Amino acid sequence: MDVDVAESDHTGTVLRFRPLVLRAVELAGTARRRGDHPFGAVLLDPHGEVLAEGLNGVVTTGDLRAHAELEALENARRAGRSGQVAGGIMIASGEPCPMCTAGLVWAGLSQIVFAAATPNFVPYLPDGPRFRLRCADVVAASTAEIVVSGPVDGVDALAPFRPGH
Ligand SMILES: [Zn+2]
């Protein structure tokens, strides 16, 4: 897939990335079935080619940093592909949290697309601290210029959160 990031408005982004958004949601279901929180992510290089995938692993690894987006970045690093990350694109099943968004800023990504918005999936998560800062807020508070798109219409992004999925 070849992506001209500069010409991607929200609608164009959604159409272009729809198969990858669905893949991220599928990964979220895989994470859920193995006992983790239902989040998945697909990391693309600046040309739109898949670099790595990530699944939430917080429960099964005991690593509180094992969010899907950071796992995708780590998997790219493990594969020796860190050099292809800058300018890349993160496709996430759920809106990236402030920790992950900061990581994506540090990684130099150009675009973030998320399927489900934070207010929509938070009710499904276990009790814990919450941030009022949204993904776009964190990006806006940085000097980075990252296009943030989401939620994605027409994708059942909350399916992995529902019991029995
Ligand atoms: Zn996160």
Using DSSP, state whether 133 is helix, strand or coil: coil
- Enter the DSSP assignment of 83: G
CA R_g for the chain? 14
pLDDT along the chain (165 residues), means of 10: 45 79 97 97 97 98 97 98 98 98 98 97 90 97 97 93 78
| Angstrom distance (rounded) from CA 64 to CA 86 | 24
| Angstrom distance (rounded) from CA 93 to CA 110 | 18
What does 109-129 look like in DSSP terms, one character per residue?
-SEEEEEE-HHHHGGGSPS--
**Residues, CB-to-ion distance under 5 Å, ligand 1:** 67, 97, 99-100
**Ligand 1 mean position, distance from CA 141 (Å):** 17
Residue 102's pLDDT is: 98
Residue 82's pLDDT is: 96
Taking the chain, what is the end-to-end CA distance rounded to the nearest angstrom?
Answer: 30
Q: What pTM does this model have? A: 0.91
**Ligand 1 mean position, distance from CA 36 (Å):** 13
**Ligand 1 mean position, distance from CA 91 (Å):** 13
Residue 8's pLDDT is: 43
**Ligand 1 mean position, distance from CA 20 (Å):** 19
Closest CA to 129 of 98, 93, 162, 105: 98
**Ligand 1 mean position, distance from CA 1 (Å):** 26
Instruction: Indicate the angle between helix axes 68-78 and 10-33, nearest 10 degrees.
Output: 90
- Enter the DSSP assignment of 108: T
Residue 14's pLDDT is: 65
